[in-house]
Amino acid sequence: MDLLDILKKRKSIRKYTDEQIPEEYIEKILEAGKLAPSGRNKKPVKLIPVRDKETLEYLSNTRSHGSQILAGANAAIIVTGDSELSDTWIEDCSIAMMIMQLSATELGIGNCWVQVRGRYLDETGELTADLIKSKLNIEDKYSVECMLSLGMPAENWRE
């Protein structure tokens, strides 16, 4: 499959089966994200894989809308950037995220971008990023941009 075919096939998948994603696929997706270019090659992006169902359930409740798909996901990747290292951390995280989405699509893994930066939990007013950083013990210098929800697709793929 060439890049144009992958781009045509890619779509946001929000419903997943219970089938486990092979660990080597998660590693390939992470490797693809780590190979992403960054401004001045500073590499401020840190990727945090999550496979634990309890943690995925917690993450699904860190936003009032849009994060609930994580409860049914098989895995997630938290995309963070070192805002002290680079002023282009947001762009760098976004590039890494898109490359991981394309990699997951190529492998037949359903995926969806869940935005974190600038989002909050309506009920408490807490920032989604703060809830995630606290739960996963993420260093202060890292800002959470987004999460990649991953699972074997229960929805039909675009043909």
Q: Please indicate, yes or no, if residue 61 is contained in any of the structural domains.
A: yes
Whether residue 138 lies inside any domain: the answer is yes
Residue 28: give its domain's CATH number: 3.40.109.10
What CA–CA distance (Å, rounded) separates 118 from 125? 12
Provide the number of structural domains found in the chain.
1
Residue numbers of the domain that contains 46: 3-151
Report the distance separating Cα 28 and Cα 108, nearest Å. Answer: 12
Task: Give me 1's structure tokens.
Answer: 């499959």
Instruction: Write down the pTM of the prediction.
Output: 0.96
Residue 100 exposed, middle or buried by CB count within 10 Å (0-12, 13-18, 19+): buried
Label residue 155 by pLDDT band (50, 70, 90).
low
Q: What is the mean pLDDT of residues 80-100?
A: 98
97 within domain boundaries: yes
- For the chain, what is the mean pLDDT? 96
